A and B are shown apart, each in its own frame.
Chain A
Amino acid sequence: MRLDRADSPSPQPSPRTRGEGAGFGWLRKNLFSSWFNTALTLVVVALAAVVVPPFVRWAITNATISGASRAACGPDGACWTFIRTRLPLFFFGHYPPDQRWRVYLTGILLVVFATPVMREHVRRRFAYVLALLVAFPMLAALLLVGGVGGLPYVDTNAWGGLMLNVIVSFVTVAGSLPLGILLAFGRRSTLPVVRTLCIGFIELWRGVPLLTVLFMSAVMVPLFLPQGVSIDRLLRAMAALVLFNAAYMAEVVRGGLQGVPSGQEEAAASLGLGWAHTQAFVVLPQALRIVVPGIVNTVVDLFKDTTLLTLIGLFDLLGAVEQASKDPAWLGFATEGYVFSATMFFVCCFAMSAYGRSFERRLTRGR
């Protein structure tokens, strides 16, 4: 098989195909350039002819989305009615229906706080980042939990669905990024005790599966609390996710710290800046800029990993889908449920990775 490079002109531009019509030339160049290529195209088309029509029949042509019960659904198509009637459960879990405006409001606030951080040219980005990572979570917690100022109290047990995935991911990022930065500095420290502790911490979390860490938070942590003290199950899981992901963030940030030329540090030192000032105002800003794509990757991974909350009995999107498909009135539609949850995750993760890629392009363009 011949290869062409994505970013360099193809090895032999053939003048022959260029003269012919654009559409035909494109076909010839991309699908039928050699007998091997032609064979590949034919095989792919044949496979698609076998796979695609049944799927389209199942997902679209024979599918049902209207109606209110399973009686509306035909035998040989997808039953999107199941998804449609359960949408509130999939998005909000058991959050009281008359209080859902609080979730919407939190979502709007998130957009308001996150927009300035993600824009390309912003003055005082750091202040906005601080607002997003500190002020917004406090505001959101107040709004979602309630119990003050006339807002009815909503227990975290009622939280669920995609909302839970998003909340947990946000808290995890807000906690693990600062901790990861500290760990990354600690790992590069010249002080042997600090370095050893940081390496031990990072390698311990990176060496065990997330599931054991979550399980630890669920069954082991209560053993280490003084009598009479108990911590909310969701909070414990979040803490576990923060510690776990801080180790991964630390490794990403460390890569960035190593990528900053040592001349920068030397220049800062010659200007009379101390170690802390040098790191905070010269090294770290440059390092973080380099590793934004890596951080975005970690965020995408941890967002996907929040599905593991299902396995410790929390009610995230996957848990909601599993529960809904075990409902006797709707048995047999698990496939639709899993396809739906996979699609939701795909949309969110794809958007995040696309942002990471565009940032990367911006980064290389500036060079």
Chain B
Amino acid sequence: MIRRPSRRARAAQWVLLLGVVSAAVVLANLAGGNLARRHLDFGFGFLADHANFDIPFRLIPWEVGDTYGRALLVCTLNTLLVSVMGIVTATLLGLLVGVMRLSENWLVRNIALWFIEAVRNTPQLVQIIFWYVAVLQTLPAPRQSIHLPFGMLLNIRGLYVPALVDGTVQFPALHGFNIAGGTQIVPELVAVWAGLSIYASAFIAEIVRAAILSVHRGQREAALSLGLKPGQVMRKVVLPQALRVMVPPLTSQYLNLIKSSSLGAAVAYPELFQIFAGTVLNQSGRELETIMLLMAVFLSINLAASAFMNWYNHRVALVQR
């Protein structure tokens, strides 16, 4: 046997590498054999084929008969849309709840605490389906729309928000049996958006709370003694310093949120997973390719998001002398 530890280690590594490579080869052979028996080949050429399904919600034009490749683009944009909406809302809501958690007011403090506990201790999937089935599908018809602030309307067909058309703001309004004007946000998107942002906000609130507590109390006392009002102390002294501590844990919450957007499949929001692991897989029968494609796209989105957050973290990090 090999006596010298360094040589032994090197030999062990070669053996390990050989094992991994041969396992990969065996698996690839098995898959090749199974595919051949089903008269299938492996390849991504099907992306140029025409797809025979509709994508009910999209940001860029889509028609039945466009290619699978374009479907991938449409769905990726849908995933990105709900992720970005979720990240923005979750951050704002998390900031609010995190600050509420530290309020002097007993009621406010405890409401924030129980909000966090309730949201963190129930499955995200249950929450998303709850918003969709138990809340959005029981809303009134367009005629009895619920009026929200800023001219927004909420009914069973979704959320209608004012839209910017040719430089003027156009408010949604009832027109016959339907709503005209404004932009419609379909209920599927509202449900996923609510589910993603509320779930993440509870985790972000705890991050915010920990970050605020990590700011040295001397900072706050100094600001107060300079005559700043409590609100100003929070906005101008405490939060900017807390932000630096917050960025790394926030990054991982954002990445979680992006990955969770695949839960939109449960309420048929046409994002990547719903369309590719559902419709495309069934129509083309290409299990291997669709799953690999899905993983690759999510992995790239995540890597891009984490690279951006690292860059941002680097920028806001305190320059140590």
Contact = CB atoms under 8 A, between A and B. Distances in A.
Chains A and B come from one and the same complex: yes
Interface in B6-34: 9, 12-14, 16-17, 20, 27, 30-31, 33-34
Contacts of B166: none
Contact of B262 (A45, A209, A222, A334): A209
Contacts of B302: 207-208
A338 B103 contact: no
A342 B13 contact: no
B125 A215 contact: no
B298 A44 contact: no
Interface string B101-133: 011111110010000011011111111011001
A350 B287 contact: no
Contacts of A193: 13-14, 16-17
Contact of B295 (A208, A225, A353): A208
A215 B117 CA distance: 30
B107 A335 contact: no
Given A44-B111, A219-B281, A31 B123 contact: no
A307 B281 contact: no
Contacts of A225: 30, 34
A1 B230 contact: yes
A33 B104 contact: yes
A209 B35 CA distance: 26
Given A220-B288, A345-B122, A346-B122, A31 B106 contact: yes
A221 to B, nearest CB: 10
Contacts of B287: 219-220, 223
Interface core residue of A5, A210, A307 (most chain B CB under 10 Å): A307
B269 interface: no
Nearest to B263: A211
B259 A3 contact: no
A40 interface: yes
A272 interface: no
Interface residues of A, number: 59
A37 B287 CA distance: 58
Contacts of B298: 207-209, 212
Interface residues of B, number: 66
A153 B288 CA distance: 34
Interface in A1-28: 1-6, 8, 10-11
Nearest to B124: A304
A212 B273 contact: yes
A357 B182 CA distance: 48
A41 interface: yes
A337 to B, nearest CB: 9
A226 interface: yes
Interface string B73-103: 0000000000000000000000000010011
B141 interface: no
A224 interface: yes
A226 B100 CA distance: 57
Contact of A338 (B20, B129, B273): B129
Contact of B234 (A1, A45, A209, A211): A1
Given A197-B20, A208-B295, A223-B34, A31 B231 contact: no
B33 A1 contact: no
B105 A31 contact: yes
B259 A307 contact: no
A216 B260 contact: no
Nearest to A26: B106
B148 interface: no
B23 to A, nearest CB: 10
A30 B105 contact: yes
Contacts of A41: 105, 107-108
Contacts of A37: 104-105
Interface of B: 9, 12-14, 16-17, 20, 27, 30-31, 33-35, 37, 99, 102-108, 111, 117-118, 120-127, 129-130, 133-134, 138, 212-213, 217, 220-221, 230-231, 234, 238, 259-263, 265-266, 273, 277, 281, 287-288, 291, 294-295, 298-299, 302-303
20 contacts: A2-B104, A5-B213, A30-B105, A37-B105, A40-B103, A40-B107, A193-B14, A208-B295, A208-B302, A212-B262, A216-B291, A225-B34, A227-B34, A308-B263, A318-B126, A335-B130, A338-B129, A346-B118, A350-B121, A353-B120
Given A191-B12, A209-B262, A220-B287, 7 more contacts: A5-B213, A191-B13, A209-B260, A211-B265, A224-B27, A345-B121, A345-B123
Top 3 nearest A-B pairs (CB, nearest first) are A30-B106, A349-B121, A335-B134
